[in-house]
Structure 1
Amino acid sequence: MKANQLLKSTIIKMQLVCICATIIMITSPYNIFAQSKTKVQKASGSRIEDSYTANDYYLYNKSGEMTGQKGSLRASSTGITLGTDADNLKITLKVNQTPAFEVIRGVNGDPTFFGPGTGWTRYIGAGPLAFFTRNRGMVNASDIPQVFVASEGQVGIGTNLSAVKSDNLNKYNLFVMKGVLSEDYAIGPKDNWADYIFKKDYSLLTYIDLEKFISINGHLPGIPSAQEIKSNGYSLHDMNVKLLSKIEELTLYSIEQQKEIIALKKSLEKHQLLEIRLRKLENSKK
């Protein structure tokens, strides 16, 4: 008997708790999931209001009556929308009450992403980062991004680096499709240059050996073949060194040729002098 009375008492208490909880949920100013058109006024003039349809909910932060379905925050079955039609729209994310990141409606209505701090603004992803410019919101898996940043830090412009050979990925950090147009271009300091050609112990090929090498290989010594360039490309700095070495070798060949020309001229002058003397002797005998 006592057990039945205790059970009935417990059920009645649970029912009372459920009724109280339901009343609190319906009348609370934080109830954004109400299915009615009731507008609930919070303290300080802010308002949380349900939508005029059953599936959309709006959070307002304005005083006075609102008309239509425009709000600062909208939650629906298609996602969450932040923002109003105001020209000075700004969404600020704060960490410890300090602005960490802002999305601003900037010049001409352009969206502007702003890091208000004086330090770095970091964009971090566990995988690669891809940036697209499209007239439509979505992209296909096969679309090539305008800018691509690999997990290891390599940057591709107009390429996702999938066609780049692993050797080149290990050697370089920037890959640009179609080419680069620049008013100036510089290469950082390097410790290898082609001045070794002018050292006294440098062995310059003879004309005979040079001609033989070209006839067999079809390219200059020390210069990659057309097939090598087609397969592997080339380093701009390394190629500059190689081309300069050939210019310096040509300079040495020119100096050597000039010495031979001068020697031949002197020899020719001597022969001409001898020829003149011989003619004079022959004429004197006559």
Structure 2
Amino acid sequence: MKKVILLSLILGFFFIQKSNAQNPVGFPDGITVGTPTVTIPAGSSYKMAVAGGIITEKIRVATNGTTFWADFVFDKSYKLRSLNEVAKYIKLNKHLPDVPSTAEVTQQGIDLANTQAILLQKIEELTLYVIEQNKKIERLNKKVRQLSKN
């Protein structure tokens, strides 16, 4: 079984705690890294607060079996907004439909898994718009060729 060494800085002393993947070392109140100005909100389910940035080579966001991923966009029952509807929404709200506003992000932060799903939804919608535009261009080119023959 792979051993994990957890190095904790508590009250200025280093303690090395060994644990295995089956029984990781627990910190019931969570872990705070950095200055004391960053805290874990009382009553939240968060387990770590970090002041400053985090550098890592890889992050995996576990979604615990949720089914919110954006593939629903390709379902035949999905109602894709017209580009005119999207333009009106943007003019009125100053952001894309289904995308949080600056005020919402400032107040609530960003949930990485949810944001990735929203961005994928927008990419998939854009793909459907491009496919439709391509069909229109092909129809117009066909008409131009027919008219140029006459």
Q: Which amino acid aligns with 2:55?
A: L
User: Tell me, what secondary structure is at the counterpart of 1:170?
Assistant: coil
Q: Which amino acid aligns with 1:213?
A: Y
Q: 1:173 aligned to 2:47?
A: yes
- Tell me the equivalent position of 1:133: 12
Distance 1:251 1:171 in 2: 37
RMSD: 2.2
After superposition, give the CA deviation of every residue in 1:121-180 in whole Å (9 maximum; x if it has no partner): xxxxxxxxx82339xxxxxxxxxxxxxx5xx532221255775545xx524222211121
Q: Which amino acid aligns with 1:254?
A: V
**Structure whose CA Rg is larger:** 1
TM-score (norm 1): 0.41
- Tell me the equivalent position of 2:3: none
User: Tell me, what secondary structure is at the counterpart of 2:49?
Assistant: strand
Distance 1:181 1:237 in 2: 18
Q: Residues 63-82 of structure 1 correspond to what in structure 2 (within 5 A)?
A: none
* Percent of residue pairs identical: 32
Distance 1:194 1:171 in 2: 26
Q: 1:229 aligned to 2:105?
A: yes
Distance 1:199 1:156 in 2: 43
Moved over 3 A (4+): 159-166
Quick one: structure 1 residues 265 and 272, their matched pair in 2 at CA, closer, same or farther if it must change by over 3 Å?
A: same
| Count of residue correspondences | 127
Distance 1:223 1:270 in 2: 43
- Tell me the equivalent position of 2:33: 157
Determine which structure has greater relative contact order: mean sequence separation of CA pairs < 8 Å that are 6+ residues apart, divided by chain length: 2
- Tell me the equivalent position of 1:257: 133
Distance 1:183 1:162 in 2: 24
Distance 2:144 2:135 in 1: 14
- Tell me the equivalent position of 2:4: none
After superposition, give the CA deviation of every residue in 1:218-275 in whole Å (9 maximum; x if it has no partner): 000011111111111011101000011000110001101101110110111111111x
CA contact 1:159–1:175 (8 Å) conserved in 2: no
Unaligned runs of 5+ in 2: 1-8, 14-26
User: Tell me, what secondary structure is at the counterpart of 2:44?
Assistant: helix
Q: Residues 88-103 of structure 1 correspond to what in structure 2 (within 5 A)?
A: none
Unaligned runs of 5+ in 1: 1-129, 135-148, 275-286
Q: 1:271 aligned to 2:147?
A: yes
Residue of 193, 201, 206 corresponding to 2:69: 193
